[in-house]
Structure 1
């Protein structure tokens, strides 16, 4: 027994051994708590009609495990004798982590409640503004909770939070000057919400990129390009650039330049014009207005300009296919030949 009575750093080896056994016991107990939550609490909450208890159990699972484990370690260390400054560090460190774990739980729970109850209601609403504001509100709530939690934790361990906030206020001006692009992006986001040059789901073209708006954030906007890649555009680009909202176009203009061979008589040219007008009148997804003109004597063809409009909401590619198939079919039926580049070469042969 003398071995256990030997002193090591202000405590006997026996006290160190008991502390170690407590920590091992806490680790085992933590495993049991995890098993209890997964196999008992979750099953019980799943049997209820409401989803609230499921969310509470799921969001509480990880933070409570950390608090339970740290609490056991803290209890084991409190049995030992340390110098006052080390004891003070242990106490403050424990409560610092507990406050952060509590903050983690509150942030997780509020975000889960928003996703479970508020997000479905927003999706069902007719307005697109709330769809854009919800992701921003989630981030603001999350960051606000964490900032308050960290300030409370720092205040609890002895930091002068008032001095920290005052320092942040003075440094805020310098930070704003250094982060002017970030500020510009934030104001760009405000401009998007107020002017509404586009909303979620709109197809837009900006700075040479073409895609569908997926998310509008405080600093940037995410656009899924037609090739499937995700593009992140700083919001300031929308305030000093030109935005083309393809979704808001009333109709899609399609321009075709058709060329007929030079041996086509004038009655056949008129027939071609009449056929093009008739195709537009009989094709679904096109507007009645169409422009057809015999407009050019080209290098190797007689040019016919054909402009028509596809109605909003129609399948643009399919309508174009239908129109082009009808042009090909009816021109062939009426022996209207399309021209292709040709050259006539005159050669002089000297006979001796």
Structure 2
């Protein structure tokens, strides 16, 4: 697992370093919108370019009870109210009190980060619904995109919501003199300590409860099954239930936190960052599922003695984990509000540069995938690769090792291995039986024919010889009458083929010997020529 975490930690660090400058500039640069006007406008000093930015900055102002700052997120110009600066702060405090009383705001991930807002929500293009007030009528909280005093197009709380808040402020009897008393007691980050403790306690309680239920289910299955670790259902549930307990806790917490009567600051912050727990749960589940599948496949491949397939499973498991954790890291950074688009693009360029520098390594990796997928050889096969002949001992992710006939170990990088000519002797389904049997020249023609018939009968009677055999007089050789035998031995094991080959040759020799038909060996006959006076002279030598 540490081999997986190291590259993922490196990926996380790179993304963080790449995203830090963009975080610092987030409040200065205008958000990209759906029209050219948004791209050309000057940066808004209050960060109201998109619905997500406007709500985030409004919550930040309310958390600090900076109602003067919060009043900039209300569109008073188009509202029916004639509120002054102090009244605007009262309306901001009213909004916070209404949300604390059970109002709802959409979570960070649900809010649009586009300057044009959502265009598929059934509202006018300049309107965006972001939640509901905590009144009896569940009055919607709507943002409106309009032109600010400095000429920029910004998102602010719409006039109809402003008018509704003015009515609630009278009901709550809030004035500019008592708005500082909205949050009483000890507070952390703008919310009472009790609310933070409730948020944390509810989430932990939900997770512990679901985790205990998951443990109970697994305990019951272990008690009911004789060998649970070989049961597919148990292995799946063992991988899925622990992270699923965390995911269920996140879902139930979101349902509870949406309308709980606690500080909107605590709720909104928890709902925003609870998405991290959701991604952790999904990544946790996927990682455990990958490990379970990999272990099952590896066990099956090892039983079948397919070691190269085990290498494929190992490679696929590691690659899947790295990709999964990379996606989860990007999603978590996005939840934190970090723009990772530029960072990912830079990471892609860096990855391209790294790939160019590690071209040979990547070539060997691709070569190993091709060797394992195409399967020209398997572990244990006797083969010839280029000028190397031997038995394949291992097919790894980088190289293939071959034990030669001299008992040396040759390591061939898979990039080169996949490009070489490979002759796999172990893949033969038949072995060629092609000897040339030389008979003596001293044989009569009838004995020669008998010798050929004897060889044919040996081939015909052996059950391991394929039917398309032949035995023919091929040549009048230098010292023998050459009978060519052409047949196939129908076995796939090399050692067994050698035993059958020996049996055939011995049977042929025995029958020829019994028929008094000799097998020739190299001989030389010397002829001496007599001169006219009867003396012996130099003769001509001839082979026969």
Query: If the length of structure 2 is used for normalisation, what is the TM-score?
Result: 0.36
Q: Does 1:304 align with 2:483?
A: yes
Aligned twin of 2:311: 135
Q: Secondary structure at the match of 1:287?
A: coil
Match in the other structure for 2:513 = 332
User: Structure 1 pair 252/339, CA: closer, same or farther in 2 (3 Å)?
Assistant: same
Q: Secondary structure at the match of 1:214?
A: strand
Change in 2 beyond 3 A, CA 1:225/1:294: same
Compared with structure 1, are the counterparts of its residues 284 and 291 closer, same or farther at alpha carbon in structure 2 (3 Å cutoff)?
same
- Mapped partners of 2:434, 2:366: distance in 1: 39
* Displacement after TM superposition at 1:144 (Å): 9.4
User: Could you say which residue in structure 1 is the equivalent of 2:440?
Assistant: 261
Is the contact made by 1:286 and 1:319 (CA closer than 8 Å) also made in structure 2? no
Distance 1:138 1:347, change over 3 A: same
Query: Could you tell me how far 1:322 is from its partner in structure 2?
Result: 0.5
Structure 2: stretches of 5+ with no match in the other structure = 1-226, 230-290, 330-339, 538-544
CA deviation digits over 1:176-216, x for unaligned, max 9?
Answer: 44543333322222222333323344332211333333332
Cα deviation digits, residues 5-63 of structure 1 (max 9, x gap) = xxxxxxxxxxxxxxxxxxxxxxxxxxxxxxxxxxxxxxxxxxxx999xxxxxxxxxxxx
**SS of 2:466's equivalent?**
strand
Query: Displacement of 1:113 after TM fit?
Result: 8.8
In proportion to residue count, which structure has more helix? 1
Residue matched to 1:280: 459
Bigger CA radius of gyration? 2
Whether contact under 8 Å (1:284, 1:319) holds in the other structure is no
Question: How many Å separate the matches in 2 of 1:226 and 1:325?
Answer: 28
User: Is 1:212 the counterpart of 2:388 in the alignment?
Assistant: no
* Distance in 2 separating the partners of 1:290 and 1:267: 22
Query: What secondary structure sits across from 1:194 in the alignment?
Result: helix
CA distance in 1, matches of 2:403, 2:293: 25
Distance change in 2, residues 1:231/1:331 (3 Å) = same
CA offsets 1:138-169 (integer angstroms, 9 cap, x no match): 367679989x9xxx9xxxxxxxxx9x999986
Q: Retained in 2: the 8 A contact 1:258–1:305?
A: yes
The number of residues matched between the two structures is 235
Where do 5+ consecutive residues of structure 1 fail to align? Answer: 1-48, 52-111, 153-161
Give the SS at the match of 1:224. Answer: strand
Report if aligned partners of 1:283, 1:322 keep a CA contact under 8 Å in 2. no
The answer as to 2:378 corresponding to 1:202 is: no
Quote how far apart the aligned CAs of 1:259 are.
Answer: 0.9
Q: SS of the residue aligned with 2:383?
A: strand
Q: Displacement of 1:346 after TM fit?
A: 3.9
- For residues 181 and 348 of structure 1, do their structure 2 counterparts lie closer, same or farther at Cα, with a shift above 3 Å needed? farther
Q: Partners in 1 of 2:408 and 2:417 — Cα distance?
A: 20
Give the alignment's Cα RMSD to 1 decimal.
4.2
**2: distance between equivalents of 1:317 and 1:177?**
50
| 1:110-140 deviation line (CA, Å, top 9, x unaligned) | xx999986533323469x5xx4232344367
